[in-house]
Amino acid sequence: MQEKYLPSEIEGAAQAQWAASQAYRAHDASDRPKYYCLSMFPYPSGKLHMGHVRNYTIGDVLARYHTLRGYNVMQPMGWDAFGLPAENAAIANSVPPATWTYANIDHMRAQLQALGFAIDWSRELATCKPDYYRWEQWLFTRLFEKGVIYKKMASVNWDPVDATVLANEQVIEGRGWRSGALVEKRDIPMYFFRITQYADELLSGLDSLPGWPERVKTMQANWIGKSVGVRFAFPYTIDGQDDQLWVFTTRADTIMGVTFCAVAAEHPLATRAARDNPALATFIAECKQGSVAEADMATMEKKGMDTGLSVTHPLTGEAIPVWVGNYVLMSYGEGAVMAVPAHDERDFGFAKKYGLPIKQVIDARESARQLQQAIADTRANRALSAEEADYAEELAEHTTEFTDRVWQEWYGSKAGVCINSGKYDGLDYTAAVDAIAADLEALNLGEKKTQFRLRDWGISRQRYWGCPIPIVHCDTCGDVPVPAGQLPVVLPEDVVPDGSGNPLNKRADFVNCSCPKCGAPARRETDTMDTFVESSWYYARYACPDFDGGMFDARANDWLPVDQYIGGIEHAILHLLYARFFHKLMRDEGLFGAEYVRSGPALSPTLPQAGRGQTLGPNRFDEPFANLLTQGMVIADTYYREAADGKKTWFNPADVELRDGVATLKSDGQPVIAGGTEKMSKSKNNGVDPQALIDQYGADTARLFTMFAAPPEQSLEWSDAGVEGAHRFLKRLWKLVYEHVQGGPLPNPLPLAGEGANARPKRINDLRRQLHQTIQKVSDDIERRKQFNTAIAAVMELMNALARLEGDDAMTRSVRQEALEAAVVMLAPIVPHIAEALHAELGPGAAMTWPVVDESALVQDEIELMLQVNGKLRGQIRVAATAPREAIEAMALASEAAQKHLEGRPPKKVVVVPGRLVNIVV
């Protein structure tokens, strides 16, 4: 055995051996339970960044752990290869996006391989390849014919100078990123998926996902935003025509307080009013400026203008003025809202600004008063609990008078009763909504309706580098889907975009075609699909990436669902919701989950086992990802210098030297300014190149540090010193094994486990107890808690104890062998290369299996309890592990520490928490 730990040597050898033996090939036919472990595939941006290293190491730890536990593991990898950055690179360097993308993929694949991930590379796929996206096009045509996909107008950001559609991130402070032109909203036709048709199932399905983080499920539920309300109309007559203005509200109980309506700038009423109102026309044009991003809409100043038109209140018959509001969106709901300034904060602000009337119709004070009366009655009978007293106090704050001067929280409360509302006076929220909905329905002017915040998914992109939408536009036949036999519609790869519109429009060879229905000359659709479409089904294609007879074969049934999905928290809503939606679409198309004909032996489905993570129930094809782990960002320090004109130059932390709290640039020795710790990014130049790390310390050190520095779900702060600490641990581990192996062969089997503990010295039993406690903890940390930093810390503690264990007798050497063997296997998921090398040195020939806990090693006769007096720690007592409560109490009271702090006072109460502490209350 080598005395020195040489990472490059052992890592190269291990990787070569894994490749030669196809060690990580997932077997389609196996009698072992399957474990499908998937990390979100990367966008091939050029180089791997630390976020990737972290993501894929987490996945690899779980994959390797389950392999050691006897599962048939599949861990695939691929490329989310379509997208905007390739077009940006093309504009900057005049390279076709395809060329750039394929070069990046080759580079990043090599980097992933250097990190030693247990990936089945035979399943690799890239979404920009026709053999992948042809099935996306095929599914599109089926869904189009089924009506799941439809066409409608939608708003986009339009750059009038570059004559191109901009992504939201390309709009900076209302201007195009390259041209600097003021961005406008423009309506263009787009294809939409009817995701709203699945809204209910997407919402209720969250309940079948115990293996998902609660916060992700909450975010998705809020995003879907199911609300029950009333859709109703304000009738009006204009140009001698009777018509109706429809709105939706969740606060129908406040309908008697409507003092105006607001419509979107694009609403027909607004357009009609602007016809003979030039000022309004100008205002409407102004509303069309700016980006379509919701965050911008929500934070901008709320502006409006009177249309001069009015509609009739359906219940009171009053004339209600109609305003145009820049905050009302045509694409949301009806493009119009009723405004109740007294009970909606936004309406209140708007009314104040434009001097519109505010009419109170809800009195939350009344309900507060009733509750207070109830509390007073209770008080007369008994004392209030602390909780009740709190509540009473809170209620008291809600009894101030209504005033139209300042908004107060309780104005928006649903916990009130109607006032100033005629026949509805005195009704509470539910009763008022019911009564009002019934009256509107009787007038044929409204009904109760369930509405979702979720909108249909627009997938048309006016870009080149994406999956072509397989539609042909024919003058006579309309939009005709490309027949299956003519798929794929291949994207030409020799194109260099120039930033002004979609270059596909200029490609006659792509655009010109004949109608599949009538054969007449026709035009091919040049919009491509949202790249979220590709990432919505790739996980299923990994089961059968080589299948060219259809989207999936029977192997998809075997491997789905994904047992563990790992990716960034930034995907909590969009990607994960779209993938869940797609899964249901594909299920309903019978692509998996239905009856199928299989050839060859089947996989065993994942066995639900205690503590083995969550497994989906009987409907295992309803959801794509049984368990989800959302990892945090990788962040690092930033440093910059500011030029006279305020322009900042950012320096990479690797080029900065820190001494006595002063940061200087290594190259010139002059100081730089610390700019805080932020997400690693190109713009702040604070990225750490994983390659440099691998070159200097090896892949195992990079993996160990990223797993040790923080738990997966938190953000991870980069630290070069911390990396060295991780490397030092591996060197210590190597040395411990080296010194042990130098001692020569040991008896087989080791004389340790089972009975006879009494015959062994205490230091041996103590070490074995720690060893088996560590096995227990590490198993639980990896499998259930998915918290690897504490698992590593536990093994480090074990190694520290082992280093302190002295003696060269057979017993000591045996326990050392047992501990080292177990430690090496426990670390193997995290640092597989060194683990493999050390395992070979410790137990020649034997295959690695996860260590088993020896329960007998865990037994303890005596335990230590903390002793508190009035909740303050005052000492410890040692008691027999089996001591009864009374004996513990007596010992505690008799103890010196207790006597000292009791100062003769009699104990009022003694709290005994078994195995933990004793608290004496005086």
Partner RNA sequence: GCCGGGAUGGCGGAAUCGGUAGACGCAGCGGAUUCAAAAUCCGCCGCUGGUAACAGUGUGGGGGUUCGAGUCCCCCUCCCGGCACCA
Helices (H), 23-160: 50-68, 84-93, 97-114, 130-146
Q: On the CB side of 700, how many CA atoms lie within 13 Å of its CA?
A: 28
If one asks whether residue 2 binds RNA (CB under 7 A), the answer comes out as no
Judged by CB, which is closer to RNA: 89, or 320? 89
Task: Single out the residue of 289, 373, 399, 870 in contact with RNA (rule: CB under 7 A).
Answer: 870
Q: Looking up tokens 């996006």, which residue turns up?
A: 97
For residue 514, give both structure tokens: 């004949």
Judged by CB, which is closer to RNA: 79, or 236? 79
For residue 153, give both structure tokens: 């107008």
Shortest spacing between CB 888 and RNA, in angstroms: 14
275-310: burial string, b at 16+ Cβ within 10 Å, e else = eebeebeebbeebeebbbeeebbeeeebbbbbbebb
If one asks whether residue 299 binds RNA (CB under 7 A), the answer comes out as yes
If one asks whether residue 494 binds RNA (CB under 7 A), the answer comes out as no
Reduced to 3 states, what is the DSSP secondary structure of residue 12?
A: helix
Terminal alpha carbon distance of the chain: 64
Judged by CB, which is closer to RNA: 231, or 571? 571
Q: What are phi and psi of 237, to 5 degrees?
A: -125, 125
Q: Is the peptide bond before 488 cis (omega within 30 degrees of 0)?
A: yes
Stretch near RNA under the rule CB under 7 A, chosen from 97-105, 214-222, 741-749, 813-821: 214-222
Fill in the amino acid letter for 875. Answer: G
Judged by CB, which is closer to RNA: 75, or 919? 919
Stretch near RNA under the rule CB under 7 A, chosen from 112-120, 414-422, 864-872, 880-888: 864-872
Q: Looking up tokens 């539920």, which residue turns up?
A: 221
Quick check: 356 and 260 in contact, CB under 8 A? yes
Task: Single out the residue of 130, 492, 675, 711 in contact with RNA (rule: CB under 7 A).
Answer: 711
805-828: burial string, b at 16+ Cβ within 10 Å, e else = eeeeeebbbbbbbbbbbbbbbbbb
User: Helix 84-93 crosses helix 97-114 at what angle (to 10 degrees)?
Assistant: 110
If one asks whether residue 793 binds RNA (CB under 7 A), the answer comes out as yes
- Of 729, 728, 701, nearest to 833 by C-alpha is 701
Fill in the amino acid letter for 749. Answer: P
If one asks whether residue 157 binds RNA (CB under 7 A), the answer comes out as yes
Task: Single out the residue of 144, 729, 734, 850 in contact with RNA (rule: CB under 7 A).
Answer: 729
Show the binding pattern over residues 597-636: x = contacts RNA (CB under 7 A), - = does not: ------------------------------------x---
Shortest spacing between CB 296 and RNA, in angstroms: 8
Shortest spacing between CB 401 and RNA, in angstroms: 21
Task: Single out the residue of 130, 499, 722, 843 in contact with RNA (rule: CB under 7 A).
Answer: 722
Judged by CB, which is closer to RNA: 168, or 505? 168
Quick check: 708 and 726 in contact, CB under 8 A? yes
d(CA 17, CA 918): 57
Helices (H), 664-743: 690-697, 699-708, 720-742
d(CA 611, CA 731): 33
Shortest spacing between CB 395 and RNA, in angstroms: 12
Shortest spacing between CB 129 and RNA, in angstroms: 15
Q: What are phi and psi of 334, to 5 degrees?
A: -95, -5
If one asks whether residue 571 binds RNA (CB under 7 A), the answer comes out as yes
If one asks whether residue 531 binds RNA (CB under 7 A), the answer comes out as yes
DSSP state of 401: P
R_g (Cα) of the chain, nearest Å: 34
Judged by CB, which is closer to RNA: 269, or 292? 292
Provide the β-strand partners of residue 191. 151
Handedness of CA 707, 710, 712, 716 (dihedral sign): negative
Shortest spacing between CB 133 and RNA, in angstroms: 14
Fill in the amino acid letter for 386. Answer: A
Show the binding pattern over residues 796-835: x = contacts RNA (CB under 7 A), - = does not: xx--x--xx-------------------------------
If one asks whether residue 273 binds RNA (CB under 7 A), the answer comes out as no
Task: Single out the residue of 150, 223, 354, 640 in contact with RNA (rule: CB under 7 A).
Answer: 223
Task: Single out the residue of 12, 605, 675, 725 in contact with RNA (rule: CB under 7 A).
Answer: 725
If one asks whether residue 751 binds RNA (CB under 7 A), the answer comes out as no
Stretch near RNA under the rule CB under 7 A, chosen from 77-85, 114-122, 367-375, 825-833: 77-85
Judged by CB, which is closer to RNA: 564, or 919? 919
3-state secondary structure 42-69: CCCCCCCCHHHHHHHHHHHHHHHHHHHC
d(CA 239, CA 217): 50
Interface with RNA in residues 91-150 (CB under 7 A):
none
Classify 278 in phi/psi space as left (phi over 0), alpha (psi -120 to 50) or beta.
alpha
If one asks whether residue 392 binds RNA (CB under 7 A), the answer comes out as no
Fill in the amino acid letter for 211. Answer: G
Shortest spacing between CB 251 and RNA, in angstroms: 15
Shortest spacing between CB 911 and RNA, in angstroms: 4
d(CA 514, CA 777): 66
Judged by CB, which is closer to RNA: 477, or 793? 793
- Of 881, 876, 877, 878, nearest to 860 by C-alpha is 881
Judged by CB, which is closer to RNA: 751, or 907? 907
- Spatial CB neighbours of 758, under 8 Å, sequence gap ≥ 6: none
With contacts defined by CB under 7 A, how many residues of the chain interact with RNA? 102
Stretch near RNA under the rule CB under 7 A, chosen from 76-84, 398-406, 439-447, 683-691: 76-84
If one asks whether residue 383 binds RNA (CB under 7 A), the answer comes out as no
Shortest spacing between CB 372 and RNA, in angstroms: 18
Stretch near RNA under the rule CB under 7 A, chosen from 311-319, 398-406, 773-781, 812-820: 773-781
Quick check: 322 and 340 in contact, CB under 8 A? no
Judged by CB, which is closer to RNA: 272, or 732? 732
Task: Single out the residue of 419, 435, 663, 917 in contact with RNA (rule: CB under 7 A).
Answer: 917
Task: Single out the residue of 866, 879, 893, 902 in contact with RNA (rule: CB under 7 A).
Answer: 866
For residue 545, give both structure tokens: 């990436």
Task: Single out the residue of 9, 30, 46, 84 in contact with RNA (rule: CB under 7 A).
Answer: 84
Task: Single out the residue of 125, 165, 255, 560 in contact with RNA (rule: CB under 7 A).
Answer: 165
Shortest spacing between CB 218 and RNA, in angstroms: 4
If one asks whether residue 771 binds RNA (CB under 7 A), the answer comes out as no
If one asks whether residue 766 binds RNA (CB under 7 A), the answer comes out as no
If one asks whether residue 85 binds RNA (CB under 7 A), the answer comes out as yes
Q: How many residues does the chain have?
A: 922
Stretch near RNA under the rule CB under 7 A, chosen from 474-482, 510-518, 531-539, 810-818: 531-539
Interface with RNA in residues 422-481 (CB under 7 A):
453-455, 457-458, 460-463
If one asks whether residue 879 binds RNA (CB under 7 A), the answer comes out as no
Task: Single out the residue of 194, 731, 760, 763 in contact with RNA (rule: CB under 7 A).
Answer: 731
Interface with RNA in residues 637-696 (CB under 7 A):
678-679
Fill in the amino acid letter for 254. Answer: T
Shortest spacing between CB 286 and RNA, in angstroms: 20
3-state helix, strand, coil in the chain (%, to 5): 40, 20, 40
Shortest spacing between CB 427 and RNA, in angstroms: 26
Shortest spacing between CB 714 and RNA, in angstroms: 5
Shortest spacing between CB 52 and RNA, in angstroms: 10
